[in-house]
Amino acid sequence: MLSYKIFHKLTQINWTILIVTVCIATIGFCVLYSAAQGSLSPWTDKQIIRFCVGLVILVIFALIDLRFWLSQSYILYLISISMLIIVEVIGYIGKGSQRWIDLYLFHFQPSELMKVALLMALARYFHNSPLENKGQTKMLILPFLFISMPAILVSKQPDLGTAILLILAGFSIIFVAGIRLWKIILSGSLVLISMPLLWKVLHQYQQERILTFLNPERDPLGAGYHILQSNIALGSGGFWGKGFQAGSQAHLDFLPEKQTDFIFAMFCEEFGVFGGTLLISLYIILISYAFRVSLKSRSAFGRYLGIGLATLLFLYVFINIAMVMGLVPVVGVPLPLVSYGGTSMLTFMMALGLLMSISIHRDIRVGRIEGLI
């Protein structure tokens, strides 16, 4: 009986999402192979292993009943907050930032897990809230705390990009849950008014990134070097690109962080506008299906969580591509399933697994749950 239920759920997996995910990841493997001068080491082989592990996680998450994720949302959020506090106290320091927990076999970045945990906690909160109370100001106090606590901890690491993602993705659920437009305008106005204070709180390198975004030529060999080299790589690819493993900016090491933050620039140098458009089209399909799956869910928890996850994926793609094109400041946001990174890869696969779970269990009606468990 149990095996039949598992088989039945496997037949309901959204194959469009799965196939597009594999296609995007495969593009990432090819670009990492090229970045390593035609070698599987040191990036491609590890990325393939992580993706295969991620596929197993995706399927497991997809088969688990949505009611289980609802019941464990607050627990996962508390675990994630605890790990962020551990990072603050005894976290591993790398590249000038204290963002990781050293697990000896690998370094784990709790802020990546927090992105999913935050959305799950917010989705549960608004799922349990009476419909007539969701737009009331008092109902927004706890969600603001849910968002602000991890955002503050992450910004102290410092990791401004992740903090921004947490805030924007969290507010996407608050907006869908019924917050009134005037409250959004008021919040935005308060942020604009507090800009001078926020500027003083930023680290010097973060201030330099913003100033460089406004004028990259002010320091072409320093803070502006990344974005100038990225723009050269993007422009030199033309429409069809220079060809696989033929990108001079990346292979002559002019393009920094070519395997992580600026991997889209390297891809476009080798495959041009055509390749960049193809990759963006795959992301559009994936994000569109994520929103479609969310809106089809009969449970409020599924809809809120799905929309939050779809928005998070969109923000990752938009910010990374806009960053390498010089449209937004450089904030260190990876390109989903393409950029090299262990924790981020597994987090994306967890998110897609939850979307699959929402799709498979879309007809299940989920009641309110009180307490933490």
What digits encode the pLDDT tens for the residues 233-243? Answer: 888 888 888 98
Q: Which helix (H) or strand (E) element contains residue 336?
A: none
**Pair of tokens at residue 262:** 């600026």
Nearest 10 degrees: Cα torsion 329, 307, 183, 196? -20
Choose between 255 and 370: higher pLDDT. 255
Residue 328 has pLDDT above 90, yes or no: no
Q: Identify whether the C-beta of residue 234 lies closer than 8 Å to the C-beta of residue 322.
A: no
Worst-scoring range by mean pLDDT, 97-101, 155-159, 213-217, 354-358? 213-217
Q: Which helix (H) or strand (E) element contains residue 270?
A: helix 263-296
Choose between 268 and 343: higher pLDDT. 268
Burial code (b: 16+ CB inside 10 Å, e: under 16) for 222-248 equals ebbbbbbbbbbbbeebeeebbeeeebe
Task: Provide the mean pLDDT of the chain.
Answer: 83
Kindly calculate the radius of gyration of the chain based on its CA atoms and give it in whole angstroms: 21
Q: How much is the pLDDT for 21?
A: 95
Q: How much is the pLDDT for 203?
A: 62
Give the residue among 84, 220, 223 at the shortest CA–CA distance from 158: 84
Q: What is the DSSP letter of 333?
A: -
Burial code (b: 16+ CB inside 10 Å, e: under 16) for 256-291 equals ebbbbbbbbbbbbbbbbeebbeebeebbebbbebbb
CA dist., res. 308 & res. 314, Å (int): 10
The one-letter amino acid code at 134 reads K
The one-letter amino acid code at 300 reads A
Give the pLDDT confidence of 75-131 residue by residue, as tens digits: 999 999 999 998 888 776 666 677 778 776 677 888 889 999 999 999 999 888 766
Model's pTM, two decimal places? 0.88
